[in-house]
């Protein structure tokens, strides 16, 4: 979930408002940058030979880039107990952005080192280039550099490559563990713009060890604890032409709890580890525990076979994650839930949570799909409209229907204006969930209606 919030919600899920005004993203960025600068600050304590301006600049860039590289591991791990790395959505989006920047920096790395030689003469530059490529001690750096470029490109173009997500994820993880070890060998042996003194190499190796440990934790240690408290599959029901409702139950001894709007990684395979897990938002509310339900759209090789799961089988649940929740709307005078397709899951969870609390504020659900027969759980939602006079649903359908009450088209500015006209925009808290293009379009419409960004909390159904 991407959202603006206060320090109190960053550090916990407190409902209390904090006096701090710095947004969550700003705190996370500040924390991230502070951590990233630590190895560089450590170099200031060293007695180093003075270097020229160019070499010093390269050293600073390389030291910061190497630390950013190691910090890709906590960003991609699910370290929900460490506040700085607990916001999975922020982590993954920054993991991707930082990864692309690192690709550019490391692509230029050999060129920037050799540039002064090329400035002297082209021949001198070429001579240095050939000796760098052929020197045996450069092999670790060279392999790490080539692999890094290939792995970053594979991550950027993974959708176009049509590779199975699980295959990509496994090769991404294994590839980067190997690249990290090779890069650390390079920086601690021949690297001249990141290696300072033998004792300083301990820092690089400690960071490398911490990175590999995080991978081992995620793939080997955490699965053991998930295995000790499996959930049971209760039911898989088709609730629309394209969607399933999957219900699982936690064990009595399990202390699993969640807040409306959060998501988990579900693993229905025989093993609690590996890459066969998928993120899904919880659609039920806390009052439904020990049962937890999900609305899952049939979108690919895993989600199309959910009906082959066996009732009573074990399901491993890693979570909950995600920082959206009803706490964000504590001060709001009206609550707007906007769901596109499979995005209905977390919106239902919030709606069920609000109904459970008998929340008296105006609540609107705007729910869009391509076809009418994709709208899920309409009996329950229509029943809520009857029992909660402050709640109304607006269905939005891309294809034409006979029903005049259904907005035909997509969730656009006109649809929002028409549905929410009696509410003052500045008082709304808007929750939004759906595919990325829908999130982008609705966010633009909400902006054009002058809804402050801090009042919009959204989750897109892909990382
Ligand atoms: C935070 C979050 C919450 C989500 N909540 C829901 C929900 O409530 N209901 C719902 O129907 N869908 C939800 N999704 C999307 C759901 O995870 C994917 O549709 C599902 O994993 C697709 O799996 P597949 O093998 O059937 O499809 P595939 O064809 O293999 O994958 C389709 C796309 O889904 C994504 N994906 C596939 N496997 C994974 C994985 N293991 N981890 C992360 N992404 C993956 C990739 O972007 C891939 O390109 C959510 C996604 C995220 C990130």
Q: Which pLDDT score, from 0 to 100, does residue 5 have?
A: 38
Q: Is the pLDDT of residue 8 over 60?
A: no
Q: Is the pLDDT of residue 37 over 50?
A: yes
What value does the mean pLDDT of the chain take?
88
Question: Rounded to whole angstroms, how far apart are CA atoms 176 and 215?
Answer: 10
Number of Cβ within 10 Å of residue 74's Cβ equals: 19
Q: Which atom of ligand 1 is nearest to the CA of 280?
A: 5
Q: Is the pLDDT of residue 392 over 90?
A: yes
294 ligand 1 Cβ < 6 A: yes
Give the mean model confidence (pLDDT) for residues 175-182. 97
Q: Which pLDDT score, from 0 to 100, does residue 19 have?
A: 36
340 ligand 1 Cβ < 6 A: no
Please enumerate in sequence order all residues whose Cβ is within 8 A of that of 296, keeping only pairs 6 or more positions apart, or say none: 243, 244, 245, 246, 280, 303, 306, 342, 345
Q: How close is the Cα of 314 to the center of ligand 1, in Å?
A: 20
Question: Rounded to whole angstroms, how far apart are CA atoms 33 and 153?
Answer: 25
How wide is the angle at C-alpha 123 spanned by C-alphas 119 and 128, nearest 5°? Answer: 80
Q: DSSP string of 133-170?
A: HH-GGGHHHHHHHHHHHHHHHHHHTHHHHT--HHHHHH
Q: Which two tokens stand for residue 296?
A: 């899952």
pLDDT digits (tens, 9 = 90+) for 183-239: 999 988 876 665 556 778 899 999 999 999 999 999 888 898 888 889 999 999 999
303 ligand 1 Cβ < 6 A: yes
pLDDT digits (tens, 9 = 90+) for 399-439: 998 888 999 999 999 999 888 876 677 778 999 999 999 99
296 ligand 1 Cβ < 6 A: yes
Q: Which atom of ligand 1 is nearest to the CA of 304?
A: 26
Q: Which pLDDT score, from 0 to 100, does residue 191 have?
A: 66
Q: How close is the Cα of 426 to the center of ligand 1, in Å?
A: 33
Q: Which pLDDT score, from 0 to 100, does residue 179 have?
A: 97
Helix orientation angle between 24-36 and 88-120, rounded to the nearest 10 degrees: 40
463 ligand 1 Cβ < 6 A: yes
Which residue, judged by its Cα, is nearest atom 10 of ligand 1?
Answer: 296
Which residue, judged by its Cα, is nearest atom 50 of ligand 1?
Answer: 461
**SS3 label, residue 377:** coil
Question: Rounded to whole angstroms, how far apart are CA atoms 217 and 223?
Answer: 8
Q: Which pLDDT score, from 0 to 100, does residue 159 have?
A: 86
Number of Cβ within 10 Å of residue 319's Cβ equals: 20
Which residue, judged by its Cα, is nearest atom 7 of ligand 1?
Answer: 280
Q: How close is the Cα of 13 to the center of ligand 1, in Å?
A: 25
Q: Is the pTM of this model over 0.85?
A: yes
Task: Indicate the helix (H) or strand (E) that contains 281.
Answer: strand 278-281
Question: Rounded to whole angstroms, how far apart are CA atoms 365 and 337?
Answer: 5
Positions of E strands within 359-400:
363-369, 391-397
Dihedral sign, Cα of residue 38, residue 44, residue 48, residue 50: positive
Residue 72 near residue 99 (C-beta atoms within 8 A): yes
Which residue, judged by its Cα, is nearest atom 3 of ligand 1?
Answer: 280
301 ligand 1 Cβ < 6 A: yes
pLDDT digits (tens, 9 = 90+) for 275-296: 789 999 999 999 999 999 999 9
Q: Is the pLDDT of residue 303 over 50?
A: yes
Question: Rounded to whole angstroms, how far apart are CA atoms 11 and 7?
Answer: 6
Q: Which pLDDT score, from 0 to 100, does residue 410 have?
A: 95
How wide is the angle at C-alpha 120 spanned by C-alphas 115 and 123, nearest 5°? Answer: 90
Q: Which pLDDT score, from 0 to 100, does residue 113 have?
A: 87
Burial of 265 (0-12, 13-18, 19+ CB in 10 A): middle
State in Å, rounded, how far the first CA of the chain is from the last one: 10
Q: Which pLDDT score, from 0 to 100, does residue 194 have?
A: 59
Q: Which of 154, 167, 279, 341 to mutate to test the pocket of ligand 1 (most atoms within 8 A of CB)?
A: 279
**Looking at per-residue confidence, does 156 or 21 come out higher?**
156
Q: Which of 3, 339, 350, 461 to mutate to test the pocket of ligand 1 (most atoms within 8 A of CB)?
A: 461
342 ligand 1 Cβ < 6 A: yes
Residues pairing with 457 in the sheet: 431
Q: Tell me: cis bond preceding 444? Omega within 30 of 0 counts.
A: no
Sheet holding 243-249, edge to edge: 278-281, 263-267, 314-321, 231-238, 243-249, 291-297
Q: Which pLDDT score, from 0 to 100, does residue 196 have?
A: 57
Q: How close is the Cα of 279 to the center of ligand 1, in Å?
A: 6
Q: Which atom of ligand 1 is nearest to the CA of 322?
A: 1
Question: Rounded to whole angstroms, how far apart are CA atoms 238 and 376?
Answer: 9
365 ligand 1 Cβ < 6 A: no
Domains parsed from the chain with CATH numbers? 37-225 (no CATH), 231-321 (2.40.30.10), 326-460 (3.40.50.80)
Which residue, judged by its Cα, is nearest atom 28 of ligand 1?
Answer: 300
Which among 324, 374, 376 has a CA at the least distance from the CA of 353?
324
45 ligand 1 Cβ < 6 A: no
Q: Which pLDDT score, from 0 to 100, does residue 300 have?
A: 87
pLDDT digits (tens, 9 = 90+) for 66-123: 999 999 999 999 888 888 888 888 899 999 999 999 999 999 998 888 888 888 888 8
Q: How close is the Cα of 301 to the center of ligand 1, in Å?
A: 10
**pLDDT band at residue 45 under the 50/70/90 scheme:** confident
Distances (CA, A) of 310 to 226, 229, 274, 315, 449: 19, 18, 20, 10, 47
Which residue, judged by its Cα, is nearest atom 40 of ligand 1?
Answer: 278
Q: Which atom of ligand 1 is nearest to the CA of 321?
A: 1
Q: Which pLDDT score, from 0 to 100, does residue 215 have?
A: 95
279 ligand 1 Cβ < 6 A: yes
């Amino acid at each position: 979930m991407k959202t603006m919030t206060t320090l109190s919600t960053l550090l916990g899920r407190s409902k209390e408002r904090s006096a701090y005004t710095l947004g969550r993203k700003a705190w996370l960025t500040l924390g991230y940058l502070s951590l990233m600068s630590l190895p560089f600050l450590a170099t200031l304590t060293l007695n180093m030979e003075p270097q020229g301006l160019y070499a010093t600049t390269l050293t600073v860039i390389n030291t910061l880039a190497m630390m950013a590289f190691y910090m890709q591991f906590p960003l991609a791990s699910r370290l929900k107990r460490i506040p700085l790395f607990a916001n999975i959505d922020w982590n993954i989006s920054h993991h991707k952005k930082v990864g692309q920047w690192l690709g550019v920096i490391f692509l230029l790395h050999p060129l920037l080192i050799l540039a002064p030689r090329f400035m002297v003469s082209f021949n001198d530059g070429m001579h240095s280039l050939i000796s760098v490529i052929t020197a045996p001690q450069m092999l670790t750096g060279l392999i790490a550099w080539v692999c890094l470029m290939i792995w970053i490109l594979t991550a950027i173009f993974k959708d176009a490559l049509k590779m199975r997500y699980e295959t990509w994820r496994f090769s991404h993880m294994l590839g980067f563990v190997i690249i990290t070890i090779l890069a650390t060998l390079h920086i601690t042996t021949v690297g001249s713009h990141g290696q300072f003194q033998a004792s300083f190499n301990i820092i690089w190796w400690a960071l490398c060890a911490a990175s590999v440990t995080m991978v081992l934790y995620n793939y080997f240690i955490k699965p053991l604890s998930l295995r000790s408290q499996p959930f049971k599959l209760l039911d898989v029901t088709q609730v629309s032409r394209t969607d399933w409702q999957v219900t699982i139950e936690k064990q009595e001894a399990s202390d699993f709890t969640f807040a409306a709007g959060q998501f988990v990684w579900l693993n229905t395979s025989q093993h609690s580890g590996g890459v066969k897990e998928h993120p899904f938002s919880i659609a039920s509310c806390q009052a439904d525990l020990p049962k937890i339900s999900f609305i899952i759209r049939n979108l690919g090789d895993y989600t199309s076979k959910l009906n082959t799961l066996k009732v009573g089988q074990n399901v491993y649940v890693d979570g909950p994650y995600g920082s959206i929740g009803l706490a964000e709307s504590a001060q709001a005078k009206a609550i707007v839930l906007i769901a596109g397709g499979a995005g209905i899951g977390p919106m239902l969870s919030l709606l069920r949570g609000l109904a459970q609390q008998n929340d008296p504020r105006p609540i609107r659900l705007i729910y869009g799909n391509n076809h009418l027969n994709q709208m899920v759980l309409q009996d329950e939602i229509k029943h809520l409209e009857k029992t909660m006079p402050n709640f109304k649903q607006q269905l939005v359908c891309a294809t034409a229907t006979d029903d005049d009450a259904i907005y035909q088209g997509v969730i656009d500015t006109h649809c929002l204006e028409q549905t929410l006209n009696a509410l003052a925009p500045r008082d709304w808290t808007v929750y939004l969930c759906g595919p990325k293009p829908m999130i982008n379009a609705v966010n633009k419409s909400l902006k054009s209606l002058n809804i402050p960004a801090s009042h919009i909390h959204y989750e897109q159904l892909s990382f």
